[in-house]
């Protein structure tokens, strides 16, 4: 049960003319808990009631049912509420243990559909660290929104169309070798692509050949399609390996190529609305009134562009999924592009243009160095994950040599560490990645949270996983209060994370709960035989459940032992 709701309920009787929502807006959490767990300021009532706030507070407090609180006192213009800790604590524990899976979830979404476009790498190229960020942020937002009862549609909008594929085909036809491609698809294809681009300066006919091959592709030439399909398939196979490691599963892989077949509609609509302007032979949309650069819709040679495909995509998604929100998890450098996309949809007259939202994130660097595909200093995602698993394995075997399934645990810890590191800061910030900092059992890391939970699980194992059916949970003791309070905040934490599309809110919560629990564990003898023992074990169980749920919302697994 929500603690704040108890305060709202108590006030409702004293102020029947106010709605619950308005009351909830006014209730504060005092900075110093000497002033209670919640406070209700009365200043805002002074005008309507023609009384001094102090007098109002005095009168209100008389009308408040104090049964659920330790005490309710007037402090100047404030009414301070002190929760009945034993009672509130017992209620929190009861709620968690009764339905651990659903604890903290709310129905914000009423089953509204949300599409999330994330990961979305370009085929025949290595996935960049930016794609890794997009993958994890998108996946976590999806899980958070599901917890709030949205229906999430996970879309991997593959970059599988565009003139670059013409070039790639031309290059493959000149220098390609099927065996080489099969051995190491993405790097081999990338090499062909880089080679044709560098040599095109001296051989203008290469550019010509690339254009021809793309035209063939657009016109359904058999060989062009065979190659395109093959490149796409082998790229996707590679991407899938990373998705499997991260436990990410998409509902759709409709990428740019799919939308490229649906161009007539947006173009016709733009024409009908007189939005296409001729500019040096190309067709653009004027976005002066938005202070935006005009996007190119149709190039002078008649081909369409990236944004035209995205317009077709947006129309398709709205029709297909009837979304209430449509999220695009893409790096901050694309900010203006999404402004253009939304502005064009608005100009086209679609009232849902502002359901589209760019979920932006900062760059990732490696030990302070930026990555660049062009310069060749690419860090392979698969390598990063594998290195992390290796480091985790070393540390685990040192810490716990008798572990039964070290391989499995090393995967959970190693991959979880990378994911947690990526998600723990506000997504808009850039992050630096140093493996040694990421796979650490101390500090603000994933393994730290996983370890706190594993410790809780080991306490429960020692007691043969007791049942808590008839336990008087109010016996848990005051030392548990900081942990209980943290447990009670899980629901509002998820809600905030959902409203801000920000997984870091959940990550920070998990860290805080792990820390509170470790502190409690350091100062309390949990297994001492007294009347509070089972209630304390119930607390341990509740912590284990909530830490597991919080990690799951980030896409991080929680080993029972490590
Ligand atoms: N493929 C793009 C990239 O690698 C990201 C696509 C984002 N989604 C979209 N609908 N434009 O940068």
| DSSP output for 186-219 | HHHHHHHHHHHHHHTTT-HHHHHHHHHHHHHHHT
Tokens of 100: 């651990």
CATH class, domain 381-553, is mainly alpha
What confidence tens digit (pLDDT) does each residue in 108-121 have?
878 899 999 999 99
Find the 166 Cα to ligand 1 centroid distance in Å: 19
Give the Å distance between the CA of 157 and the centre of ligand 1. Answer: 7
**What's the CA gap between 325 and 261, in Å, rounded?**
24
Dist. CA 310–CA 320, nearest whole Å: 15
Pocket test residue of 159, 260, 326, 332 for ligand 1, highest count of atoms within 8 A of CB: 159
Q: Where in the chain is the domain with CATH 3.30.1360.70?
A: 3-83
Closest residue CA from atom 4 of ligand 1: 121
C-alpha closest to that of 152 among 102, 118, 105, 103: 118
Closest ligand 1 atom, CA of 158? 1
H/E run at residue 459: helix 446-462
Distance CA 438, CA 421 (A): 6
State both tokens at 444. 């603000």
Instruction: Give me the helices (H) in 261-354, please.
Output: 264-272, 306-321, 335-347
Task: Yes or no: say if 13 and 7 are a contact pair by the CB < 8 Å rule.
Answer: no
Which contiguous run of DSSP H or E holds residue 456? helix 446-462
Q: Which residues line ligand 1 (CB under 6 A)?
A: 117, 120-122, 157, 159, 310, 313, 328, 330
One-character DSSP codes across 379-439: --HHHHHHHHHHHHHHHHHHH-TT-S-HHHHHHHHHHHHHHHHHHSS-TTS-EEE-HHHHS
Looking at the domain that runs over 113-366, which CATH code has it been given? 3.40.50.620
Instruction: List the beta bridge partners of residue 285.
Output: 276
Q: How many residues does the chain have?
A: 562
CA of 349 to the centre of ligand 1 (A): 24
Specify the pLDDT at position 109: 79
Q: 450 and 558 in contact (C-beta within 8 Å)?
A: yes
467 SS3 class: coil
Q: Look at residue 241 in the predicted model and tell me its pLDDT.
A: 93
Per-residue pLDDT of the chain (562 residues; tens, 9 = 90+): 577 888 999 999 899 999 999 999 999 999 998 899 999 999 999 999 999 999 999 999 999 988 889 999 999 999 999 999 999 999 999 999 999 999 999 888 788 999 999 999 999 988 877 888 999 999 999 999 999 999 999 999 999 998 899 999 999 999 999 999 999 999 999 999 999 999 999 999 999 999 999 999 988 999 999 999 999 999 999 999 999 999 999 999 999 999 999 999 999 999 999 999 999 999 999 999 999 999 999 999 888 899 999 999 999 999 999 999 999 999 999 999 999 999 999 999 999 999 999 999 998 887 777 665 544 556 778 888 999 999 999 999 999 999 999 999 999 999 999 999 999 999 999 888 889 999 999 999 999 999 999 999 999 999 999 999 999 999 999 999 999 999 999 999 999 999 999 999 999 999 999 999 999 999 999 999 999 999 999 999 999 999 999 999 999 999 999 9
What pLDDT shows up at residue 130?
81
pLDDT digits (tens, 9 = 90+) for 313-356: 999 999 999 999 999 999 999 999 999 999 999 999 999 999 99
272-286 in b/e burial notation, b at 16+ Cβ within 10 A?
eeebbeeeeebbbbe
Separation of CA 126 and ligand 1 centre (Å): 14
Q: Extract the tokens encoding 223.
A: 């060989």
Atom of ligand 1 nearest to the CA of 131: 4
Q: Is 73 left (phi over 0), alpha (psi -120 to 50) or beta?
A: beta
Query: What's the pLDDT score for residue 372?
Result: 56
Q: What order of strands is seen across the sheet that includes strand 276-279?
A: 276-279, 282-285, 296-298
CB 494 within 8 A of CB 506: yes
Cα separation, 444 vs 178, whole angstroms: 47
* Both tokens assigned to 90: 């017992």
For 273-293, the pLDDT digits (tens) are 999 999 999 999 999 999 999
Nearest CA to ligand 1 atom 11: 310
> CA-to-CA distance for 562 and 403, rounded, in angstroms?
7
**ipTM for this prediction:** 0.99
d(CA 271, CA 522): 70
Can you name the residues that pair with 69 across neighbouring β-strands? 83
Mutate to test the pocket of ligand 1, among 153, 259, 318, 330 (most ligand atoms within 8 A of CB): 330
pLDDT at 491: 95
Residues of the chain with CATH 3.40.50.620: 113-366
d(C-alpha 250, C-alpha 156), whole Å: 6
Work out which ligand 1 atom sits closest to the CA atom of 313.
Answer: 10
Residue 258 CA to residue 160 CA, distance in Å, equals 9
Q: How far apart are CA 45 and CA 58, in angstroms?
A: 13
Decide: residue 243, CB within 10 A, 0-12 exposed, 13-18 middle, 19+ buried: middle
Q: What are the φ and ψ backbone dihedral angles of 381, each rounded to 5 degrees?
A: -60, -40
8 Å CB contact between 118 and 346 = no
| Phi, psi (degrees; rounded to nearest 5) at 112 | -65, 145
Query: What is the token pair recorded at 163?
Result: 């003139």
Query: What distance in angstroms lies between residue 337's CA and the mean position of ligand 1's atoms?
Result: 11
Domain 3-83 sits in CATH at 3.30.1360.70
Round to whole Å and give the CA distance between 333 and 241.
Answer: 27
**Cα-based distances in Å from 218 to 211, 221, 229:** 11, 8, 13
For residue 4, give both structure tokens: 């704040």
CA angle 561, 512, 22 (to 5 degrees): 130
- What does the pLDDT read at residue 378? 63
Question: Is the pTM higher than 0.90?
Answer: yes
Q: Where in the chain is the domain with CATH 1.10.730.10?
A: 381-553
């Amino acid at each position: 049960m929500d603690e704040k709701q108890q305060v709202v309920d108590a006030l409702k009787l004293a102020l029947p003319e106010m709605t619950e929502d308005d009351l909830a807006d006014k209730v504060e959490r005092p900075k110093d808990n000497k002033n209670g767990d919640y406070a209700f300021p009365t200043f805002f009532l002074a005008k309507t009631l023609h009384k001094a706030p102090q007098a109002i507070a005095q009168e209100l407090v008389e009308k408040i049912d104090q049964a659920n609180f330790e005490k309710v006192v007037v402090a100047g213009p404030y009414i301070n509420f002190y929760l009945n800790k034993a009672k509130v604590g017992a209620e929190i524990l009861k709620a968690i243990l009764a339905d651990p899976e659903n604890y903290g979830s709310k129905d914000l979404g009423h089953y509204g559909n949300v599409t999330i476009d994330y990961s979305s790498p370009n085929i025949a190229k290595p996935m960049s660290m930016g794609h890794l960020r997009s993958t994890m942020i998108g996946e976590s937002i999806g899980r958070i929104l599901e917890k709030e009862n949205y229906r999430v549609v996970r879309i991997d909008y593959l970059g599988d169309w565009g003139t670059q594929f013409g070039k790639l085909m031309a290059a493959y036809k000149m220098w390609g070798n099927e065996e080489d491609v099969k051995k190491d698809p993405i790097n081999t294809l990338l090499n062909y692509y880089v080679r044709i681009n560098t040599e095109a300066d001296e051989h203008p006919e290469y550019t010509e050949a690339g254009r021809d091959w793309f035209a063939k592709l657009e016109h359904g030439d058999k060989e062009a399609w065979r190659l395109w399909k093959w490149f796409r398939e082998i790229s996707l196979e590679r991407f899938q390996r990373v998705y499997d490691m991260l436990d990410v599963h998409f509902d759709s892989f409709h990428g740019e190529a799919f939308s490229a077949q649906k161009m007539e509609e947006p173009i016709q609509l733009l024409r009908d609305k007189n939005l296409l302007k001729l500019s040096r032979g190309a067709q653009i949309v004027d976005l002066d009134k938005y202070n935006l650069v005009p996007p190119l819709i149709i190039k002078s040679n008649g081909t369409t562009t990236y944004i035209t495909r995205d317009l077709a995509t947006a129309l398709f998604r709205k029709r297909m999924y009837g979304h209430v929100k449509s999220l695009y998890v893409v790096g901050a450098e694309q900010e203006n592009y999404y402004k253009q996309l939304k502005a064009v949809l608005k100009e086209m007259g679609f009232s849902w243009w502002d359901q589209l939202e760019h979920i932006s994130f900062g760059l990732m660097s490696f030990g302070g160095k930026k990555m660049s595909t062009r310069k060749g200093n690419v860090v392979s995602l698969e390598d990063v994950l594998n290195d992390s698993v290796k480091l985790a394995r070393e540390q685990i075997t040192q810490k716990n040599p008798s572990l039964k399934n070290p391989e499995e645990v090393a995967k959970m810890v190693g991959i979880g560490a990378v994911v947690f590191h990526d998600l723990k800061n506000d997504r808009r910030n850039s992050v630096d990645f140093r493996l040694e900092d990421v796979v650490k059992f101390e500090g603000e890391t994933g393994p730290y949270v996983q370890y706190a939970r594993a410790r809780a699980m080991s306490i429960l194992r020692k007691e043969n996983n007791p049942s808590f059916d008839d336990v008087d949970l109010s016996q848990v003791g005051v030392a548990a209060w900081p942990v209980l309070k943290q447990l009670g905040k899980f629901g509002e934490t998820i809600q905030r994370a959902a409203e801000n599309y920000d997984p870091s809110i959940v990550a920070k919560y998990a860290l805080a709960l792990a820390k509170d629990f470790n502190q409690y564990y350091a100062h309390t003898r949990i297994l001492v035989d007294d009347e509070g023992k089972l209630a304390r074990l119930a607390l341990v169980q509740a912590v284990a459940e909530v830490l597991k749920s919080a990690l799951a919302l980030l896409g991080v697994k929680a080993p029972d032992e490590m």
